[in-house]
Structure 1
Amino acid sequence: MKLAIVGGGSTYTPELVDGFARLRDTLPVGELVLVDPAAERLELIGALARRILVRQGHPATVTTTGDLDAAVADADAVLLQLRIGGQAARNEDETWPLECGCVGQETTGAGGLAKALRTVPVVLDIAERVRRANPHAWLIDFTNPVGIVTRALLDAGHRAVGLCNVAIGLQRKFAAHLGVAPERVRLDHVGLNHLTWERGVTLLEPGAGGGWGGGADGPGREVLPELLERFGEPIAADLGLPLPLLRRLGVVPSYYLRYFYQHDEVVGELRVKGSRAAEVAAIERELLALYADPALDTKPELLEKRGGAYYSEAAVQLLAALLGTGSGPAPGVQVVNTRNDGVLPFLPAEAVIEVPARIADGRVTALPQRPVEPLFRGLVAAVSCYEELALEAALKGGRHRVFDALLAHPLVGQLDLAERLTDRLLAHNRNHLDWV
């Protein structure tokens, strides 16, 4: 099996490689190709990847290249993990919205729109080149904003699925609280990428199977009320949300909901502590220094602070199900970003949603969901409409389309504010948008 990672020079790549090495029985990777235009950094990551595989006795070969077409030829799957403009652009995304009193974040609000505008055209160009080289390859999108990017890929007819670590992260944390194996925890996870709620948590009977993402058959009992009662304080603290809110709603929101539920409070905090991008950039500098040590042959503990916990496990599960190599419990059920196709009837069929899906026979099918409560449904519908407008702006350009997307966003929604944010977004992204 051949996998190609576009953006292979990322400091996060060793996490993926570690997962491939540890879970070799689930996903038998034979060749791993890392693709990145940053040659020096790519060689550093590639060398560490080889040492990780050797340490764990994995036979896969690792090659590095800046030639995308050669890298994706004959690949069974291509993983996309791009950041157009790097941490410098992210820092701007997380800074200039604060000037207008809006949250600065790389996937939510105006900063998220800026990232989508920079990213979608590049990803679509890569995807088209993958299709010409190998039309049967799967595209696995880790690139934020995952929902918008995945919809762009699907609208263009690519074999694509989006993946986020929020669901698997919560599943692992719930399992740890309950003192059970993660495979016994099934989530009732619903929403859009970075806009989701756990409306239920089922503890499966030992040996029942179920897959980490939810939706599988098997006897079990609902334990979400128990989790909130016994472990509500650490769960709420981890999310940065008040425990009374969680108990009032009876759900566990993703931590991204804090940007909506406590927007002004978050803006105040960000103005004091600065951007996450600056923090990540400092971590990356330390990581690169560690990676340069030829004696290092494991992922360093510092990598946990980089973010993206459990991405490697999620990636292996998804690839195994797509490519038919899965050997774990119910490998064909996982929370992913895929077509709505009527699963949430209040959204268009073409919308991309984040729910458990069955993955089998080369198809990704979102599982049926019980009706979404009005309190959550309204926000999902509003953000989905914004995402549709954001994608149109990314594909066609134009100041008026950027303005429309911002005006539609629940965190903006005001004429003067949308105007000011539009001006700042365009001013900060002139080097990345050829239509400005």
Structure 2
Amino acid sequence: MKLTVVGGGSTYTPELIDGFARLRDTLPVEELVLVDPAAERLALVGGLARRILARQGHPGRVVTTSDLDAGVEGADAVLLQLRVGGQAAREQDETWPLECGCIGQETTGAGGLAKALRTVPVVLDIAERVRRANPRAWIIDFTNPVGIVTRALLQAGHRAVGLCNVAIGLQRKFAALLGTDPREVHLDHVGLNHLTWETGVRLGGPEGANVLPKLLAGHGDAIADDLRLPRPLLDRLGVVPSYYLRYYYAHDEVVRELGTKPSRAAEVAAMERELLTMYGDPSLDEKPALLARRGGAFYSEAAVDLAASLLGGGGSPYQVVNTLNKGTLPFLPDDAVIEVQAAVGPTGAAPLPVPDLDPLYAGLVANVTAYEELALEAALRGGRDRVFRALLSHPLIGQYAYADALTDRLIAHNREHLAWA
């Protein structure tokens, strides 16, 4: 089995390698190709990857290359984890929206749109080259904004599934609170990427007993603290929102916070410099503890599980993924991409049935889905007016003066990445 990671020079990658090594029986990778244009980073990450596999006795071969076409040739699955513009672009995404009093974040609001505009054309070019190399290869997209990028891939006819680590992180957290094996915890997870709610927590599978009320009653304070939302709000909702919902439920509070501290991008950039220094140590043969602070917790477990199921191995029968709606949420178009539990196998991901969604959540999901459609149109066709329309439609913006100002800033800060600008 050959797997290729595009963006293999990412400081995330050792987390992924550690998962491949530990879970070799689930996903027996024989050749792992790391593709990245940043030669120095790639050499450091590739060296550590080989040492991690060797320490754990994994027989797989690690290949590093800057040649995308050679890297994807014959690959059974291709994982996308790229960042167009690097941390410098992320730093801008997180700062210039604040000038207009709006959220500065790399996947949500104006910053998220900027990332989509930079990313979608690049990902589609990569996907076409994957298709030429092996039409049966699966593309697993971990590149943000996952919902928009996955919709672009599926709309273009690629064999693709989107992946995010929010659900698996909550699954692990709830399992720890319940004192049970994470494999016994099934989430009623519904919404869009970075806009989801856990409407149920079931033990044993989709038909298991719902213990969410018990979780909220016994551990509501701890859950609320993790989400940085007030406990009374969780009690009133009766569900557990993802931590990204704080950008909506406490928008002005978050904007004030973001204006008083260094950006997350600056923190991550400093962390990456330290991690790359560690990766260059020839005695290091395991992922360092610092990597846990980088983000992407449990990414490797989720990626291995998904790849194993798509390639016919022993992955879990049900997984939270990003895939086509196809009537699952009847108030959305069939070609919208939603994030829900799905039955996953060699033919792809089929969403499990979802009970009628409370209008409190359905309204926001419908609004953001409309924004994502406009965002994808702007990413594919370009033009100032399409960018403006997408920003005006977003519930975190929604005022024409803000949308106008943000459009100008977005184009100014991203001109080198926008072919039409």
**Structure 1-normalised TM-score?**
0.96
Q: Once the 2 structures are TM-superposed, how far is the Cα of residue 203 of structure 1 from its aligned partner?
A: 1.9
Q: 2:368 aligned with 1:380, yes or no?
A: no
**Does residue 285 in structure 1 map to residue 273 in structure 2?**
yes
Quick one: which of 397, 406, 409 aligns to 2:382? 397
Q: Structure 1 residue 417 and structure 2 residue 402: aligned?
A: yes
Contact 1:113 1:390 in 2 (8 A): yes
Aligned to 2:197: 197
In the TM superposition, what whole-angstrom CA distance separates every residue of 1:377-419 from its partner, at most 9, and x where no partner exists? 0000000000000000000000000000000000011111100
Q: Secondary structure at the match of 1:241?
A: coil
| SS at 2:189 equivalent | strand
Kindly report which structure 2 residues correspond to 1:251-266, keeping only aligned pairs within 5 A, or say none.
Answer: 251-266=239-254
| SS of structure 1 residue aligned to 2:304 | helix
Partner of 2:127: 127
Deviation at 1:339, TM superposition (A): 0.1
C-alpha distance in 2, partners of 1:288/1:360?
36
**Residue 89 of structure 2 aligns to which amino acid in structure 1?**
A
The one-letter code matched in structure 1 to 2:407 is T
Structure 2 partner of 1:34: 34
Q: How many residues align?
A: 421
Residue deviations 1:211-237 (CA, integer Å, cap 9, x gap) = xxxx3x5xx321111111111111111
Q: Distance in 2 between matches of 1:314 and 1:69?
A: 26
Q: Does 1:248 align with 2:233?
A: no
CA offset digits 1:258-297 (Å, max 9, x no partner)? 0000000000000001210000001101100110100000
Deviation at 1:124, TM superposition (A): 0.2
Alignment partner, residue 79 of structure 2: 79
Report the secondary structure of 2:260's partner residue. helix
User: Could you give the per-residue CA deviations for residues 99-138 of structure 1, whole angstroms, max 9, x where no partner exists?
Assistant: 0000000000000000000000000000001111111100
Q: Which residue of 2 aligns with 1:142?
A: 142
State the match for 1:221 in structure 2: 209
Q: Which moved more, 1:106-115 or 1:274-283?
A: 274-283
* Alpha-carbon contact 2:161-2:348 (below 8 Å) kept: no
Q: Is the 8 A contact 1:323 1:362 kept in 2?
A: no
Match of 1:207 in 2: none
Structure 1 counterpart of 2:410, one-letter code: L
Q: How does 1:152-167 map to 2 (within 5 A)?
A: 152-167=152-167
Which of residues 397, 410, 416 in structure 2 aligns to 1:431?
A: 416
Cα distance in 1 for residues equivalent to 2:68 and 2:127: 10
Look up the equivalent residue of 2:329 and give its one-letter code: L
* Structure 2 unmatched ranges of 5 or more: none
The 5 A counterparts of 1:2-401 are 2-204=2-204, 210=205, 215=206, 217=207, 220-326=208-314, 331-401=316-386
Deviation at 1:367, TM superposition (A): 1.1
Q: What amino acid sits opposite 1:344 in the alignment? A: L
**What is the percent sequence identity of the aligned residues?**
75
> How far apart in 2 are the matches of 1:85 and 1:282?
17
Q: CA deviation at 1:360?
A: 2.2
1:429 match: secondary structure: helix
Displacement of 1:153 after TM fit?
0.2
Q: Which amino acid aligns with 1:320?
A: A
Q: Distance in 2 between matches of 1:59 and 1:232?
A: 45
For 1:69 and 1:8, locate their aligned partners in 2 and report how far apart those are by CA, in whole Å: 14
Offset at residue 363 of structure 1 (A): 2.3
Could you tell me which amino acid in structure 2 is paired with residue 347 of structure 1?
Answer: L
8 Å CA contact 2:322–2:339 kept in 1: the answer is: yes
| Cα offsets for 1:56-112 (capped at 9, x unmatched) | 000000000011111111100000001000000000000000000000000000000
Structure 1 runs of 4+ with >3 Å offset? none
Whichever residue aligns with residue 38 of structure 1, its letter is A
Asked if the contact 1:110–1:406 (Cα under 8 Å) also holds between the matched residues in 2, the reply is yes
Cα deviation for residue 361 of structure 1 reads 3.6
Q: Aligned letter for 2:209? A: R
CA spacing shift, 1:40–1:361, aligned 2, 3 Å: closer
Aligned partners of 2:59 and 2:313: how far apart in 1?
Answer: 17
User: d(CA) in 2 for partners of 1:435 and 1:125?
Assistant: 16
